[in-house]
């Protein structure tokens, strides 16, 4: 699976389409980057750009766009309704697939350093990339905006993380950070009454609703909003009133087990500053922001939600709670809507949630899992939901071999070319073995006699499905593994220095060409283990399928081992070769034992 990072830079230009186009052209010119969205606003005089790509490509595209913006946008002449402090005002990097938050922090720091050194723009790191707690919040960094930068830069506590402490009149300053993916998610109601949407939003969101005196109506809390008063610190969830800040903090921790007041402290509030602050009842979910509104185009009310940490508060759990809240109020959730794009991982987890709840197998092809999520969440209720356009980070099997028709693939193998060869066939054999293991598990799930084994069989199917995809990728990887050797062979060898460089490159190439089929052999052995598990736990009516799966997986192990061994004599590093040979001996022994165990299970059933 490819590594993908999202970048969502905000530029302080929302009116001049020609300027915006010149900036986005810089992004699209970088190979490996896909421009997803350009959203300008005339009133805010700001454009929000969204693009994704490999870490290195995104890093380069962000810098190029920033450089062009610094050339085209003059902040001394900028006016708009949105808070801003720079031509490139904010530039967050977001992990999507195959990258961590730490990876995005490293990207943010690298881009920030280039902006500071090459463009002489003061740069502040925020969110997960922040170097100080008080800089995590973007609003704190942007306080005072562009006009307040000369005073801020003169304050030693606001020394930029990168770049000069001098005021850049034309470009201002930039905030560069790393944050989680924000999913913009709307839940649709069968009413145009905004009060219902507001009321459910209060129940869902982290901030909850105002704590009020009085009773609860079907729509909202009545009564005067409770506020902190001198020497009175009321608890939101109950009627307790503390006489000081620390007493209230202790009460929350001991009685309610949460850190609401601690979070206030993290935001910088002090005891005296709580006087006059409104008290809130906590909502159901953390990292969820929500409001109610009515969309005339759809002729219904919506709960508009931002999921700021979808791994903690995923869309499917928020939706199910909204359905419960709606049911209590006598209304219906008709469906939901993803605004913009959504990470593959988020949709995959939602699909698996609904499949498991139905006691269906989640170990099915990923597109089937995601389609289950789309249907279960009603994501086509008010707008089209095209998986390929809406879901970013979908696994892509884009190798020249894996996408061929069966007949074309077999014809390609038969030609007078060295690739594809035995290594690719070994990977294909292993993928078929894993697929058959998944099939046995999936055909067992749902039958009454296997209900007690649901968790075991579902876990087996999920592992087999993931392994199948890994081995499909290995089909093309094996063909490409020898490329480094071929490139080394073409290196010049006229001088002793060139000959030494060529020998070193060939040694590295042969080692790589050895390690790729070794990994294939290891994956095929895992497929063999899954076939044995399927033979023992699955429906005996599919025992022959488990047996065939084991046979092809075992062939994959042996075939991949052959491809390892044929390259070993070319490697001069004897310790390396010895270590590989030891691993091969273990692999073959274990694979043979598992294959024989499956055969015994098959023969036991077939013999009656």
Task: Confirm if 453 and 423 have CB atoms less than 8 A apart.
Answer: no
The pair of structure tokens assigned to 606 is 């077939």
Question: Residue 157: exposed, middle, or buried by beta-carbon count in 10 A (0-12, 13-18, 19+)?
Answer: exposed
**DSSP three-state, residue 195:** helix
CB proximity list for 595: less than 8 A, separation 6 or greater: 528, 550, 551, 553, 554
Beta-sheet pairing, 280-281 with 209-210: antiparallel
Cα–Cα dist 113/135, whole Å: 17
Nearest CA to 153 out of 165, 162, 142 is that of 165
The pair of structure tokens assigned to 417 is 């070319």
82 catalytic residue (yes or no): yes
> How many CA atoms, within 13 angstroms, populate the side-chain half-sphere of residue 289?
6
Residue bearing tokens 């165990």: 597
DSSP 172: B
The pair of structure tokens assigned to 589 is 């022994």
What are the start-end ranges of the E strands in 67-217?
A: 88-97, 123-127, 174-178, 183-189, 209-210
Question: Residue 546: exposed, middle, or buried by beta-carbon count in 10 A (0-12, 13-18, 19+)?
Answer: buried
Which residue(s) pair with 88 in the sheet?
A: 11
Annotated active-site residue in 198, 199, 281, 478 = 478
DSSP 224: P
Nearest CA to 139 out of 177, 106, 182 is that of 177
Annotated active-site residue in 82, 256, 287, 512 = 82
Which residue(s) pair with 92 in the sheet?
A: 177
Which residue(s) pair with 281 in the sheet?
A: 209
Cα–Cα dist 396/398, whole Å: 6
Q: Where are the alpha helices (DSSP H) in 244-284?
A: 245-251, 260-266
Which residue(s) pair with 46 in the sheet?
A: 41
Query: Burial letters for 392-413: b for 16+ Cβ neighbours within 10 Å, e otherwise?
Result: bbbbeeebebbeeeeeebeebb
Task: Confirm if 463 and 530 have CB atoms less than 8 A apart.
Answer: yes
Nearest CA to 440 out of 603, 604, 607, 598 is that of 598
Cα–Cα dist 265/252, whole Å: 13
Residue bearing tokens 């219904």: 300
Question: DSSP string spanning 527-572?
Answer: HHHHHHHHHHHS-GGGHHHHHHHHHHHHHHHHHHHHHHHHHGGG--
The pair of structure tokens assigned to 491 is 């290196």
Q: What are the φ/ψ torsions at residue 403 (nearest 5 degrees)?
A: -95, 5
Task: Confirm if 367 and 344 have CB atoms less than 8 A apart.
Answer: no
478 catalytic residue (yes or no): yes
Cis, peptide link before residue 349, omega less than 30° from 0: no
Cα–Cα dist 446/312, whole Å: 30
Which residues are known catalytic residues? 82, 478
């Amino acid at each position: 699976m490819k590594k993908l990072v999202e970048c969502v830079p905000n530029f302080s230009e929302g009116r001049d389409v020609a300027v915006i186009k010149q900036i986005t052209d810089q992004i699209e010119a970088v190979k490996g980057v896909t421009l997803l969205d350009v959203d300008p606003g005339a009133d805010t005089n700001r454009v929000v750009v969204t693009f994704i790509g490999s870490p290195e490509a995104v890093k380069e595209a962000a810098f190029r766009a920033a450089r062009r913006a610094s050339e085209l946008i003059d902040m001394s002449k900028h006016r708009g309704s949105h808070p801003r402090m720079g031509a490139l005002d904010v530039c967050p990097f977001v992990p999507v697939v195959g990258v961590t938050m730490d990876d995005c922090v490293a990207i943010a720091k690298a881009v920030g350093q280039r902006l500071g050194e090459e463009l002489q723009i003061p740069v502040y790191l925020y969110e997960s990339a922040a170097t100080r707690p008080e800089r995590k919040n973007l609003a704190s960094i942007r306080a005072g905006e562009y006009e307040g930068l000369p005073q801020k830069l003169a304050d030693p506590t606001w020394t930029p993380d990168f770049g000069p402490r001098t005021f850049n009149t034309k470009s201002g300053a930039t905030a560069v950070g790393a944050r989680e993916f924000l999913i913009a998610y709307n839940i649709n109601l069968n009413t145009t009454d905004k009060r219902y949407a507001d009321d459910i939003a209060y129940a869902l969101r982290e901030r909850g609703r105002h704590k009020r005196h009085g009773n609860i109506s079907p729509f909202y809390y009545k009564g005067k909003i409770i506020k902190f008063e001198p020497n009175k610190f009321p608890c939101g969830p109950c009627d307790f009133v503390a006489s000081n800040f620390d007493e209230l903090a202790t009460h929350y921790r001991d009685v309610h087990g949460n850190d609401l007041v601690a979070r206030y402290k993290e935001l910088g509030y002090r005891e005296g500053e709580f006087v006059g602050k409104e008290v809130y009842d906590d909502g159901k979910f953390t990292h969820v922001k929500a409001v109610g509104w009515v969309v005339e185009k759809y002729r219904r009310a919506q709960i508009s939600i931002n999921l700021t940490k979808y791994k903690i508060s995923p869309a499917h759990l928020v939706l199910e709670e909204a359905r419960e809240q709606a049911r209590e109020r006598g209304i219906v959730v008709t469906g939901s809507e993803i605004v913009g794009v959504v990470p593959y991982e988020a949709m995959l987890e939602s699909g698996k949630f609904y499949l498991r709840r139905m006691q269906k197998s989640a170990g099915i092809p990923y597109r089937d899992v995601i389609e289950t999520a789309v249907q279960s969440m009603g994501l086509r209720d008010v707008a089209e939901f095209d998986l390929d356009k809406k879901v970013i980070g979908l696994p892509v099997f884009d190798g020249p071999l894996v996408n061929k028709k069966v007949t074309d693939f077999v014809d390609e193998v038969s030609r007078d070319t060295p690739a594809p060869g035995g290594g690719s066939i070994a990977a294909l054999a292993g993928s078929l073995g894993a697929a058959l293991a998944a099939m046995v598990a999936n055909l067992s799930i749902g039958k009454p006699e296997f209900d007690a084994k649901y968790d075991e069989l579902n876990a087996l199917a999920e592992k087999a499905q993931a392994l199948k995809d890994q081995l499909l990728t290995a089909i093309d990887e094996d063909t490409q593994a020898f490329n480094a050797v071929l490139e080394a062979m073409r290196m010049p060898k006229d001088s002793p220095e060139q000959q030494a460089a060529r020998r070193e490159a060939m040694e590295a190439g042969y080692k790589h060409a050895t390690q790729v089929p070794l990994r294939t052999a290891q994956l095929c052995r895992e497929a063999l283990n899954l076939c044995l598990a399927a033979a023992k736990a699955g429906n005996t009516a599919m025992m022959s399928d488990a047996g065939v799966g084991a046979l092809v997986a075992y062939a994959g192990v042996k075939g991949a081992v052959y491809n390892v061994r044929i390259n070993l004599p070319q490697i001069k590093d004897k310790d390396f070769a010895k270590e590989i040979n030891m691993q091969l001996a273990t692999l073959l022994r274990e694979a043979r034992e598992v294959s024989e165990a499956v055969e015994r299970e098959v023969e036991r059933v077939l013999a009656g």
